[in-house]
Amino acid sequence: MRFRSLLAVAVTALVVGIAAPARAAGTGPCDLYASGGTPCAAAHSTTRALFGSYNGSLYQVRRWSDGATSNIGVLSAGGYANAAAQDSFCSGTYCTIVRIYDQTSHHNDLTIAPGGGANPTGDQGANAAALPVTAGGHKVYGVYISAGNGYRDNSTSGVATGSAPEGMYMVTEGTHVNDRCCFDYGNAETSNNDTGNGDMDAINFGTECWFSPCAGGPRVQADLENGLFAGGNGSNTANTGRNSAFVAAVLKNNGTTTYAIKDGNAQSGGLATRYNGSLPAQAGYKPMTKQGAIILGIGGDNSNGSVGSFFEGVLTSGYPSDATENSVQSNIVAVRYSNSVSFPANGGTYRLTNLASGKVLDAINCGTANGTLLDVWQPLGNTCQQWKFANAGANKWTLTNVNAGKTLDAVNCGWALGTAVDLWQGLGNTCQQWAVVPAGNGRYELVVENSGMVLDDVNCGTADGTRVDLWMWLNNTCQLWSIAS
């Protein structure tokens, strides 16, 4: 038994962001929205305060070792997250993000999502140490979404319902994406089920093409339920997307006639309008019938195969002006989000040791043929247990078995839980690209890009010959690996 809990009206893109005047210290995005007459109805971030006066908790982590929890706040009112407090609390063990606090007075906190129509199994919380970045010159942590991670609040206050207008934004990464449903942040059904067209109004970011043709990508789209809309009635090749390291994704919907999609480089410049026009002509979208739940990392029906990164985001009451959104973009740019990947070394050769079993990732019988399966085995000091890392993009790596000269591969590019891993000749596809994700204490997750699933020691087995496969992230030591030469 496994030990597991179980996107026509195309418009030419127009850059509308004009550098706003410098803002006084202590002004946050929600202060800007309020000044524009569209106050925040919900505000979530694990990296900083979104009001200039906010001095409360940003998120809560739970420790694996004893189940204890700790709230992570800001260094000072209106400031950045106190990452040192997380590091201290999680020292010697590992932590999961279990709650993301709403910084508004509505208390629309996000907690780990329950099951839904597309996936009845409840989701997992994100590895708290997986996404270290800097903001304002301070070390902070974002929310790293792998397949199976997701957050939700079905009992909100102040969030738009029915045809009421609203706006929203989030800051995400342009390089941590896939084409699975659905990396969303925004308004969704309260029942965890697909209840029909127009019942959602959420930002989606990824490479999924719901209405062909699509252009570029990854792109900001509107998840309005039963479709990821790049603009108009779905297909909009003017929405060519953005793959900068950090992306500001913006959506607004007046609930009756109009919606708009924008994106920007969250590190510099202004916003590009990818679409601004009529709501979809298909039945159910004019007017909208929003239900007012809030989701992060999943679809409205708990479709949870997507990957993505989340640093901050808000939902507003009312339809924000372009001027307000330009000011918010300037505020985001001033945060100076940045990251750097220094491990593993490009071209470096390593052994991967599973934390649960203490055994090493191994090519069975030192096989060299395409299709050779993998297991864990006691260290033998041979090249069948050595892996050469080659950079394939922003925190994407191929792992080549030194003995076989073949690549760590998700068999048949599978998406199913339990998909096997094997050795195969290099194909240059995302089924052979892996993110190396820190978990703390020198251990890492290895996440395959095509499905967002994690390299896993089957059933947490400790015997020589235990197979490895792919599974959703489960916050356990069977999916943690040390990487050492």
CATH of the domain at 445: 2.80.10.50
The answer to whether residue 324 sits within a structural domain is yes
What percent of the chain shows pLDDT beyond 90?
A: 93
300 and 375 share a domain? no
Note the pTM of the prediction, 2 decimals.
Answer: 0.92
Residue 276 burial by CB count (10 A; 0-12/13-18/19+): exposed, middle or buried? Answer: middle
Q: Return the pLDDT at 393.
A: 86
Give the active site residues.
Answer: 225, 301
Please check whether residues 320 and 227 belong to one and the same domain: yes
User: Are 329 and 183 members of one domain?
Assistant: yes
Cβ(480)–Cβ(356) below 8 Å: yes
Domain stop point among 284, 305, 334: 334
Residue 155 and residue 241 in one domain? yes
pLDDT-derived band at 4 (thresholds 50, 70, 90) equals very low
For the cut 50, the answer to whether the pLDDT of residue 195 exceeds it is yes
Neighbours of 244 (CB within 10 A): 16
Strand partners, 389: 399
DSSP β-bridge partners for residue 350: 387
Amino acid at 51: F
197-221: per-residue pLDDT in tens? 999 999 999 999 999 999 998 999 9
Let me know whether 43 and 183 are in one domain: yes
Shared domain for 146 and 24, answered yes or no, is yes
**Residue 397's closest CA among 367, 418, 426, 376?**
426
In a domain, 8, yes or no: no
Mean pLDDT value across the chain? 94
- Phi and psi at residue 286, in whole multiples of 5°? -130, 100
Residue 7: inside a domain: no
- DSSP character at residue 149: B
Cα 86 off chain centre by: 20
Tokens of 355: 């934390």
Q: Residue 96 domain-assigned?
A: yes
Strand ranges (E), 441-480 = 443-448, 454-457, 466-471
Q: Which residues contact 67 (CB under 8 A, 6 or more apart)?
A: none
The predicted pLDDT at position 12 comes to 33
Residue 19 pLDDT > 80 = no
Q: How many CB atoms lie within 10 A of CB 123?
A: 25
Q: How far is CA 285 from the centre of its chain?
A: 27
| 224 shares its domain with 263 | yes
Model confidence band, residue 255 (pLDDT cutoffs 50, 70, 90): very high
My answer on whether 77 and 18 are in the same domain is yes
How does residue 402 score in pLDDT terms, banded at 50, 70 and 90?
Answer: very high
Rounded Cα distance, 193 and 300, in Å: 6
Q: What is the mean predicted confidence (pLDDT) over 240-264?
A: 98
Q: Place 343 in a pLDDT band, splitting at 50, 70 and 90.
A: confident
What is the domain extent for residue 433?
349-484
Could you give the CA distance from residue 304 to residue 289 in angstroms, rounded to a whole number?
23
CA distance 77 to 56: 8
Q: Which two tokens stand for residue 267?
A: 């590190």
> Which of 303, 334, 365 corresponds to the end of one domain?
334
In a domain, residue 446? The reply is: yes
- Identify whether residues 284 and 394 lie together within a single domain: no
Residues 316, 435: one domain? no
Asked if the structure places residue 342 within a domain, the reply is: no
With respect to residue 344, please indicate whether it lies within any of the assigned structural domains. no
Task: Check which CATH number belongs to the domain holding 226 and give it.
Answer: 2.60.120.200
Mean per-residue pLDDT for 4-31? 48
Of 281, 307, 334, at which residue does a domain stop? Answer: 334
Considering the domain boundaries, does residue 339 fall inside one?
no
pLDDT digits (tens, 9 = 90+) for 131-140: 999 999 999 9
Instruction: Report the pLDDT value the prediction gives residue 342, as an integer from 0 to 100.
Output: 73
Please count the structural domains in the chain: 2
pLDDT-derived band of residue 21, with 50, 70 and 90 as boundaries? very low
Write out the E strands in 16-131.
Answer: 40-45, 57-63, 69-73, 95-100, 110-112
Nearest Cα residue to 309 out of 118, 135, 156: 135
| Strand duo 201-206 + 143-145: pairing | unpaired
User: Among 238, 298, 324, which residue's Cα sits nearest to residue 27?
Assistant: 324
CA distance 308 to 87: 23
Nearest CA to 43 out of 220, 169, 128, 154 is that of 169
Q: Do 280 and 185 sit in the same domain of this protein? A: yes
Assign 119 a pLDDT band (cuts: 50, 70, 90): very high
Residues 6 or more apart whose Cβ sits within 8 Å of residue 163: 255, 256, 287, 288, 289, 290
Question: What is the CA angle 266-246-109, rounded to 5?
Answer: 90
For residue 9, pLDDT over 80 is answered with no
d(CA 273, CA 204): 15
Is there a single domain that holds both residue 249 and residue 383? no
Report pLDDT for 395: 85
